[in-house]
Amino acid sequence: MHVPVLLKQSIKSLKIIKNGIYIDATFGSGGHSRSILKKLNCHGKLYAIDKDPQSIKIAHKIKDKRFTFIQGSFSNIKKFCKKHNIIKKVNGILLDLGISSVQLDDPNRGFSFKKDGPLDMRINQKKGISAAQWLIKSKKKKIENILKKYGEERYYKKIAYNIYKQNNIQPILRTSDLYNLILKSTPYQKKNPARRSFQAIRIYLNKELKELKKVLLETIKVLSPGGILSVISFHSLEDKIIKKFMFKNSRKIPNIPKNIPLTYQELKKMHKKKYKFKIFKKIFPTKKEILHNSRSRSAILRSAKLIHNS
Ligand SMILES: C[S@@+](CC[C@H](N)C(=O)[O-])C[C@H]1O[C@@H](n2cnc3c(N)ncnc32)[C@H](O)[C@@H]1O
């Protein structure tokens, strides 16, 4: 069971127009999708995207003419919108990043350090290589970089060294093997250190930050004037990217060094942007939600409205 995070708040942030066109770019178990459908009238439309081929089974359970499911990466959102003829017609896009509890809790997916299973970690198991294969083929330095960059792991050197050493003796193929190795490489900590390394490898393997940067840029091209972008993130690196993107596109004039002799009016004229975002206040889960659903503890919802100037 996946309990949708910030459900009420994210649906409210989309300011749903009853006959509007919406995209749930991270369908998962369809929690947010079902709530969006409830708000639409018979003329409204919802397109849902998910990279995981297994999510099709859940999507097929939604028998609704207003609903279309697309299996693929959200970074291809523009291509999908072109195909469905909805470019610049989309009233709202929702992104609920990461993976769902269904994926995390399935030992065969290899995402969880709490369950023994093959060390896979791919969102789409039909593409790319598994985490086990990646660890076998990677140099120690590369593993170090990933653990440090995406996991903000203090003991990245020791963990990478032990992974590299172990893989030269006998390949690490199971989540439990990697888990035990991480515990062996780090001192006792209140928070389980395996969480950081597992998350780092997952983020890297699925190119999650690259995908995020690309989809954010594409949203500008597909949203209608007044369209809303809402993003729920769970990792500080994701939130940094979203914040930077929204703020960069909300500025009237660019950051130009102070010593350039131009007046404010001249700058404004030079830089007449076709669009800009109006940013809304970021939202966090309530204490009650965190108590009820611990997965929500690191969630942040950011939303912004796209305003076209022309
Ligand atoms: C946190 S879950 C979404 C849960 C969903 N909102 C719900 O209420 O059930 C994130 C989903 O996004 C999908 N996903 C992750 N990266 C993706 C990408 N680049 N393109 C499309 N889907 C992606 C995952 O497969 C997962 O199902």
226 lines ligand 1 (CB under 6 A): no
Q: Measured in angstroms, how far is the CA atom of residue 82 from the centroid of ligand 1?
A: 21
Best residue for ligand 1 mutational test, from 57, 58, 100 (most atoms within 8 Å of Cβ): 100
Region of poorest pLDDT, from 141-150, 189-198, 257-266: 257-266
Percent of the chain with pLDDT over 70: 94
pLDDT at site 1? 83
Say whether pLDDT at 68 is over 60.
yes
Q: 3-state DSSP call for residue 95?
A: strand
What are the angstrom distances between the C-alpha of 81 and each of 9, 57, 232?
26, 22, 21
pLDDT at site 308? 77
26 lines ligand 1 (CB under 6 A): yes
Crossing angle for the helix pair 156-169 and 175-185, nearest 10 degrees?
Answer: 130
49 lines ligand 1 (CB under 6 A): yes
Q: Which atom of ligand 1 is nearest to the CA of 7?
A: 8
Say whether pLDDT at 225 is over 80.
yes
Which has more confidence, 7 or 263?
A: 7
Best residue for ligand 1 mutational test, from 9, 26, 47, 231 (most atoms within 8 Å of Cβ): 26
**Average of per-residue pLDDT across 303-309:** 89
pLDDT at site 229? 98
10 lines ligand 1 (CB under 6 A): no
Say whether pLDDT at 270 is over 70.
no
pLDDT at site 191? 85
Region of poorest pLDDT, from 28-32, 140-144, 248-252: 248-252
Question: What is the residue extent of each domain of the chain?
Answer: 7-101+208-308, 124-205
Say whether pLDDT at 213 is over 70.
yes
Mean pLDDT of the chain: 94
pLDDT at site 271? 62
* Per-residue pLDDT band at 251 (split at 50, 70, 90): confident
Percent of the chain with pLDDT over 90: 88
**CATH class of the domain comprising 124-205:** mainly alpha
pLDDT at site 269? 63
Say whether pLDDT at 255 is over 90.
no
> Over the stretch 79-129, which tens digit does the pLDDT of each residue have?
999 999 999 999 999 999 999 999 999 999 999 999 999 999 999 999 999
Best residue for ligand 1 mutational test, from 51, 126, 204 (most atoms within 8 Å of Cβ): 51
Say whether pLDDT at 310 is over 60.
no
Q: 3-state DSSP call for residue 176?
A: helix
Say whether pLDDT at 65 is over 70.
yes
pLDDT at site 243? 98
153 lines ligand 1 (CB under 6 A): no
Q: Which atom of ligand 1 is nearest to the CA of 215?
A: 19
**Average of per-residue pLDDT across 234-238:** 96
Residue ID of nearest Cα to ligand 1 atom 4 = 28
* Per-residue pLDDT band at 254 (split at 50, 70, 90): low
Say whether pLDDT at 176 is over 70.
yes
100 lines ligand 1 (CB under 6 A): yes
Q: Measured in angstroms, how far is the CA atom of residue 290 from the centroid of ligand 1?
A: 20
pLDDT at site 98? 97
pLDDT at site 305? 97
How far apart are alpha carbons 200 and 181 in whole angstroms? 15
pLDDT at site 268? 64
Crossing angle for the helix pair 140-151 and 194-205, nearest 10 degrees?
Answer: 100
**CATH class of the domain comprising 7-101+208-308:** alpha beta
Q: Measured in angstroms, how far is the CA atom of residue 50 from the centroid of ligand 1?
A: 6
> Over the stretch 15-59, which tens digit does the pLDDT of each residue have?
999 999 999 999 999 999 999 999 999 999 999 999 999 999 999
Q: Measured in angstroms, how far is the CA atom of residue 209 from the centroid of ligand 1?
A: 13
Q: Which residues contact 42 (CB under 8 A, 6 or more apart)?
A: 66
Q: How would you list the strands of the sheet with 21-24, edge to edge?
A: 67-71, 45-50, 21-24, 90-96, 223-233, 300-308, 275-279
CB 198 within 8 A of CB 103: no
Residue ID of nearest Cα to ligand 1 atom 20 = 73
pLDDT at site 117? 98
